[in-house]
Amino acid sequence: MPKIHGAVTIEKERCKGCDLCVVACPCDVLSLQPKEVNDRGYHFAYPANEDACIGCAACAMVCPDACIEVYRVVVK
Amino acid sequence: MTREEIIRPENKVYSRPRLIDDNYMHYCPGCSHGVVHKLVAEVIDELGLEDKAIGIAPVGCSVFAYNYIDCDWIEAAHGRAPALATAASRLNPQNVVFTYQGDGDLAAIGTAETIHACTRGENIVMILINNGIYGMTGGQMSPCTILGAKTATSPYGRRTDLNGFPLKVSNVVALLDGTCYVTRQAVHTVQAVRKAKAAIKKAFLNAIAKKGTSFVEVVSTCSSGWKMTPEKANKWMEENMFANYPLGDIKDTSAGLEEKTVEVKKS
Amino acid sequence: MKDNVKLMKGNEAIAMAAIRYGCDGYFGYPITPQSEVLETLEAEMPWETTGMVVLQAESELASINMVYGGAATGKAVMTSSSSPGVSLMQEGISYLAASELPALIVNVMRGGPGLGTIHPSQSDYFQATKGGGHGDYHLIVLAPSTVQEMADFVALGFDLAFKYRTPSMILADGVVGQMMEKVVLPEQRPRRTEEEIHLQCPWAVTGKHKGRDKRNIVTSLELDSAIMEKNNERFQRTYREIEKNEVRYEARYIDDAEYLIVAFGSIARICMKAIEDARKEGIKVGIIRPITLWPFPYEAIRKAAANVKGILCVELNAGQMIEDVRLAVSDSVPVTHYGRMGGIVPNPQEILDALRRDFIDKPANAQEETK
């Protein structure tokens, strides 16, 4: 059974904290920063539970501000 | 595996589209415009149209679309994008011309230009962002506002006796012989984004092949105008907008056109 | 040369001259009294010869915005209409001016206001020369008085538009549009090639990589007031350049003139007949016929006014150009107006009568009151 490892990078200054990536993620990887804000005052998204990421890119596809890039490694 | 081992160039599966500019988008958080901009940028890139695409920007929230998608642009007067596109396309048949408009721009003030560009079968792509509201001016009722929806100019909900019925403009242009492809899409889920991108790509291929007018409506949210969170706006759209504006192809006479049959020269 | 001499209407001459100029596109909508422009182009089928695009649009709104879209790609594009149609175009004309795009707009004026009449008029002088649409801008306005000038001003209008990157207008009237005269059409010029457009119009929206690394954006929108003011200052500098270089007028019989007529377009020709009749009777009248209504020949009129007892402005309107003539001479000379409205064209006798009534038959002290 191959194991999938994923990771996302989020350009935090570009993020507007719309939460759509958090909703789209099937593995509950992402959250909005509860307290910290970026330079424009948004609670930006971050991979709170990054070990669960499978690199499916759902978050990146629904991100209106193109802040997310996705990486994936399949270990056989 | 560690995060550092995964985040390597060879493992990248999703990049920020190359033709999306570095400028921060001015749209509100969660706005559908950003997603559709990305799809248009990806399609232009994938079809090798970077040096051929001419975008016509509207008046409305996407008035600054030219700041975000890296191709040549003309900023139109309110509603007139299809007229500009008609001339740009006829005078420059080697280019691929697309319009990008909201429902207020395309289906209210620009209805005549929309219908006549479509019935002439101009070889252009028309993209309609239908969020049923005027976003830029502060959330007024648009022709596509659904019945009962509250807006700044229908504060108690749109009523037929006062405001008539929502304009299903895609169904109207599908009746015109000049359109080859009319489809209604959304970008609220991953599956919807994939389908919307395929539709936009097909529309651009039709324009390259000079098959007539391709019309892609994207049913969209306006969380600010609707006064909802982006997530709730998506749900409200699914529950209310889709009943008025069901997704799917409305007309497709362009079938059989394969990407490989189209010669796209890169400069 | 002889082969090129034709008998045709002014409207037809516009169409033929457009093809021969190498015009890339015409977008228009039928309206009397200028429909022959579009009709002639459709009959000539220039898309088969020069490759010129001709399209009947769904409205004047669409035609002027097609012109805007075409001009933004660096092409030589034009439209024509008559007064009510040109009113509809004003938004698009303002966008053209603000986006610094060259284009040619022809207005074959009819009587207004409103739907008015289909008969000749010059009542769009204010609209054409003072801006017309919203914002601080000017058009270069050419006023033909013959069918020959209808043909010649197509090239002049386009050349000036491209030289200054601003739209220009041929402000004709129903008389010049409809009357038939002998005309020598210009030689056929080739349409500009894509390479020439890239060279001459580096701002043109032609697709991103054509010897440039940045994308071109044609827009009139600028939300930063400081930049918007700079843009306006740049427009105004262009207008001052045009005022310095491009004033055109015709002056006749002014050396010994005791009275001066100022008139433009078709009515200037009727004034010429009135002047010839007057001179037979020993009344020394001269004429200045502004050819560019903007920039207006203020200086020429000021000079010509130095030795005259009065100036009569003859216009097919209620008195519009007279305001510019008064600006030219300040209070140094009495200036009066004679005009007909609603599509009526006066005959030479009426003009001579007006001259007599306002100046010749009047005691000198009464002339002040006519101002």
Q: Which domains does chain C have, with CATH numbers?
A: 2-194 (3.40.50.970), 249-370 (3.40.50.920)
Hey, where are the domains in chain A? Answer: 3-75
Q: What are the pLDDT digits (tens) for A12-64?
A: 999 999 999 999 999 999 999 999 999 999 999 999 999 999 999 999 999 99
Q: Among partner residues C59, C73, C216, which is closest to B92 by beta-carbon distance?
A: C73
pLDDT tops 90 at residue C47: yes
Topology (CATH level 3) of domain A3-75 = Alpha-Beta Plaits (3.30.70)
Q: What are the pLDDT digits (tens) for C168-182?
A: 999 999 999 999 999
Q: Among partner residues B53, B76, B88, which is closest to C70 by beta-carbon distance?
A: B88
Question: For C257-269, what is the mean pLDDT?
Answer: 98
Contact (Cβ atoms closer than 8 angstroms) between residue C146 and residue C170: no
**How many inter-chain contacts (A to B, CB under 8 Å) are there?**
99
Burial class (CB in 10 A: 0-12, 13-18, 19+), B153: middle
* Closest B-chain CA to C68: B84
pTM (predicted TM-score) = 0.95
Q: What mean pLDDT is reported for chain C?
A: 95
Q: What is the largest CA-CA distance in chain A?
A: 44
Residue at token pair 């933004």? C72
Hey, where are the domains in chain B? Answer: 25-254
Beta bridge partners, B186, equal: B219
Chain B residues within an 8 Å CB radius of C57:
83, 116
pLDDT tens series, chain B, 267 aa: 899 999 999 999 999 999 999 999 999 999 999 999 999 999 999 999 999 999 999 999 999 999 999 999 999 999 999 999 999 999 999 999 999 999 999 999 999 999 999 999 999 999 999 999 999 999 999 999 999 999 999 999 999 999 999 999 999 999 999 999 999 999 999 999 999 999 999 999 999 999 999 999 999 999 999 999 999 999 999 999 999 999 999 999 987 554 434 444 443
Q: What is the largest CA-CA distance in chain C?
A: 73
| pLDDT number for residue C212 | 81
Percent of chain C at pLDDT > 90 equals 94
CB contact under 8 A, B51 and C207: yes
User: What Rg, from alpha-carbon coordinates, does chain C have?
Assistant: 21
What tokens appear for C182 in the block?
Answer: 């002998």
Taking the alpha carbons at both ends of chain B, their separation in whole angstroms is 42
Contact (Cβ atoms closer than 8 angstroms) between residue B42 and residue B200: no
pLDDT tops 70 at residue C368: no
Q: What are the pLDDT digits (tens) for C56-114?
A: 999 999 999 999 999 999 999 999 999 999 999 999 999 999 999 999 999 999 999 99
Chain B residues within an 8 Å CB radius of C219:
57, 66, 73-75
CB contact under 8 A, A24 and B12: no
What CATH number should be reported for the domain whose range is B25-254?
3.40.50.970
pLDDT tops 70 at residue C157: yes
Interface pTM, i.e. ipTM:
0.96
